[in-house]
Amino acid sequence: MKTTLKVFLTVLLIPVVLLSQQTEARGIEWSGDDDIANAMVWLGLNHLMNIEREKAYTFFDAAVTKDPTLFAPHVALAMLSNGDMRAHHKAEAKKLVEGKMEVSKLYVSLLDITKDTENPGDVWRSTWKKMYELAPDGSLFVNFNYARSRKDVKERIMELEKLAAKIEKSGGNNGHVHNLLGYTYYAEGDKVKAKAHLDKYMELRPNGYNSYDSMAEYYMNEGDMDNALAYYNKALNHYPGAISARNKIEEIEAKKKDKEQMDK
């Protein structure tokens, strides 16, 4: 059974993982000695960067259960948790990162940044910048978060487009970068580029659920509730546990019902 599960996870991992263990090890030390746990980590990372938090949490939680020596998934789990569970994962991450490289320690230090931190946004950005400078080519995860954390919008777009080109050149899937570019261009008022990037995201991630959620949000912001509802339903069809899509469907259907009653 264990052998079958290991083979299944390895095969499942090949087409979707964005990062290789060898490359990522030059940045944050995500992996350990357990191959099954490592496979779960890479799948968790894939979902995390695609804002598919529900699945990311599931894989990271399974990874630390399988290999209790892993620290990095605890950071992600802490960021996805509240209350006692956040405190638990933070404590585990701090304990397990001892003896690791500086980039790994900086990643854990992000958990110390709270709303009570002086200039938390600046501290967050400077921490990712330090991590990026220590491992600029060694970690696409660090590269992605460095790019998305840039305060200046033009710099953010430039870094994201550079990253998209780098991933494409290496033969990887850069859908998560197109997603963020879509949101960034929309916020800047360039709806044509925003739509183009979100279309590309759906093309590159047809079996995910956030690509449809992102397109749904685009249409919702445009006031096109019919298309928004259609894409939120697609997101929910791809993953019934998609909380955002489910909530938005309920919101849109309630608004439509109210409008129908007003029109009577």
Domain ranges of the chain: 1-140
Q: Which of 201, 187, 243 is nearest to 55 (CA)?
A: 243
CA angle, residues 244, 83, 49, in degrees to nearest 5 = 40
Which stretches of 149-224 are DSSP H helices? 153-169, 175-187, 191-204, 210-221
- Pair of tokens at residue 100: 């690791």
- Angle, CA 252 vertex, CA 251 and CA 254 arms, to 5°: 65
Is residue 103 within 8 A of residue 139, CB to CB? The reply is yes
* Number of neighbours of residue 5 by Cβ within 10 angstroms: 11
Amino acid at 129: K
pLDDT of residue 259: 78
Q: Is 10 helix (H, G, I), strand (E, B) or coil?
A: helix
**Rounded distance between C-alpha atoms, residue 38 and residue 43, angstroms:** 9
Q: How confident is residue 11, by pLDDT bands cut at 50, 70 and 90?
A: very low
Q: Give me the pLDDT at residue 136, please.
A: 63
Q: What pLDDT is stored for residue 26 in this prediction?
A: 62
Structure confidence by residue, pLDDT tens digits, 30-74: 999 999 999 999 999 999 999 999 999 999 999 999 999 999 999
Q: Are 15 and 39 in contact (CB under 8 A)?
A: no
Percent of the chain clearing pLDDT 70 (strictly above)? 89
- Residue-wise pLDDT tens digits, 89-117: 999 999 999 999 999 999 999 999 999 99
* Predicted local distance difference test score (pLDDT) of residue 264: 67
CA neighbor of 176 nearest in space, from 137, 128, 231, 213: 213
Average pLDDT over residues 8-18: 42
DSSP, collapsed to helix, strand or coil, labels residue 176 as helix
Threshold 0.85, pTM exceeds: yes
Answer whether residue 23 shows pLDDT above 80. no
| Section 174-182 average pLDDT | 98
- If you average pLDDT over residues 141-159, what whole number do you get? 97
Instruction: Report whether pLDDT(14) > 50.
Output: no
Q: What is the 3-state secondary structure (H, E, C) of 115-136?
A: CCCCCHHHHHHHHHHHHHHHCC
